Structure 1
């Protein structure tokens, strides 16, 4: 893509935004597809900043920065995407900066769309591939901040990561930010357990796969903090296994997965 976008493409994007009030809209132009994302100011109150600081320092000592997490302006995501592009990471290309939105290249459908169409064996293979992709992304010294499957796109050959609005870098160490990504990924992936897999067994296997690809003692320390945070769900597991809430069942499974991941430790290649 050229540094200066086609004026007709920019006008088409602005016309599309005028017709559609949605936060994220698609645009087809001259045989190419684009995604336009409106800029949203990211607000965080002082109370929220204080709560984040207390939570991090209580459960993750030595893995957090001394300050608060101030709100960033709405262009922060675009800046992160451009920085990741420079590093050669798999993210959409910034095509144009509009007055109140950013236009990106289209990089396929999210992974959830792929998973819905697969049988259990193919689904597990896809989840393993996304787990390896996350480990590779982290091994390059990066972090996502929104590593749920809905924020991973697949074009039939490659995975691309999107949605970089979280501003964790001023508060969390790199290892804690990566474990936060890993927790988001595993918590999401375990809901797709099928066939002989249970949420817990799938989570254990994916965590072991990630640990074999990318791990350090500081990651273990961060994971131990997650396990402490989730300990009540592990203790109450026998009474919560059949809870109606999917979030509660997911928390129980993740409490057991993280605990097992600490006990077992990373496997050698």
Structure 2
């Protein structure tokens, strides 16, 4: 916990900018401070939940991200629980009703590394896959397992951003399968690699996870692989379309490889 003087120092720094998440310095040490955000309203939750039920895909269920003090409480609790389980996450240093402070793990997300160092992208991408596998072996799941929420530092991958808890609204196997799919969705379109090679590497790591998780990923891949027909060009369609197309193309190959191995 911080002293009153340290709390005042952070409060003064926060007042200089309106950004919700800020990098601040305290006694020469960089910290991440996250303010409360306004409580959120998600009118699309019923639609997502209906879609999940109709398609038989529990991982599509809406994961409530309430915002406000409730979201802060969720994130603080999850960070502490994950750390206790052995997951590499930021340390919670101080909590107030208006903000909380975390240790700073650096600015090198897997997303940034894939973009900035394409010659080493395969290595960085595999590191992310290994981190997901180790997370699951500890019986845990991420919240939003996008490459931007995975920080590379000190030779390991750490996870950030835990304002919701997927395991509260779906089985753990579905939440962990969701991790695999979100990571692929956020990276496949960045990788300058043959799709067949991406699929094989992806499957090599997936097959080391629990059988129930593998089954959930295969079910989702079979349901969504048709999205590979979407346009591949970013302009004029935008990043969202091409990221879904690339992930679906890889998933289509993954399904075929899994079928071949089951014969």
TM-score, L = length of structure 1 = 0.83
Unaligned runs of 5+ in 1: none
The alpha-carbon distance between structure 1 residues 221 and 85, as it changes in their structure 2 partners (threshold 3 A), is closer
Q: Deviations over 1:20-65 (max 9, x none)?
A: 11011111122211000112245244x423212212112235x479
The SS at the match of 2:15 is helix
Gaps of 5+ in 2: none
| 8 Å contact kept, 1:23–1:38 | yes
Pick aligned residue for 1:27 from 24, 27, 31 = 24
Cα pair 2:181 2:217 within 8 Å, conserved: no
Structure 2 equivalent of residue 142 of structure 1: 140
Aligned 8 A contact 2:31 2:104 in 1: yes
1:243 to partner: Cα distance: 6.0
Distance 2:254 2:62 in 1: 30
| Aligned 1:70-219 pairs, distance under 5 A | 72=66, 73-75=70-72, 76-109=74-107, 110-120=109-119, 122-194=120-192, 197-198=193-194, 200-201=195-196, 203-219=198-214
The 1:125–1:163 alpha-carbon spacing in structure 2 relative to 1, beyond 3 Å, is: same
Kindly indicate whether residue 50 of structure 2 is the aligned counterpart of residue 54 of structure 1: yes
Q: Tell me, yes or no, if the aligned pair for 1:190 and 1:202 is still in contact at 8 Å.
A: no
Query: Aligned-residue CA RMSD in angstroms?
Result: 2.7
Number of matched pairs = 254
Counterpart mapping for 1:257-268 below 5 A:
257-265=250-258
3-state SS of 2:206 partner: helix
Q: How far did residue 180 of structure 1 move?
A: 1.4
Q: Secondary structure at the match of 2:189?
A: helix
- Are the counterparts in 1 of residues 21 and 32 from structure 2 also a CA contact under 8 Å? yes
* Farther-moved stretch of structure 1 (142-151 vs 166-175): 166-175
Deviation at 1:131, TM superposition (A): 0.9
Q: Secondary structure at the match of 1:104?
A: strand
Structure 1 pair 206–7 and aligned structure 2 pair: CA distance change class (3 A): farther
Cα distance, 1:37–1:192 mapped onto 2, change above 3 Å: same
Q: TM-score, normalised by structure 2?
A: 0.85
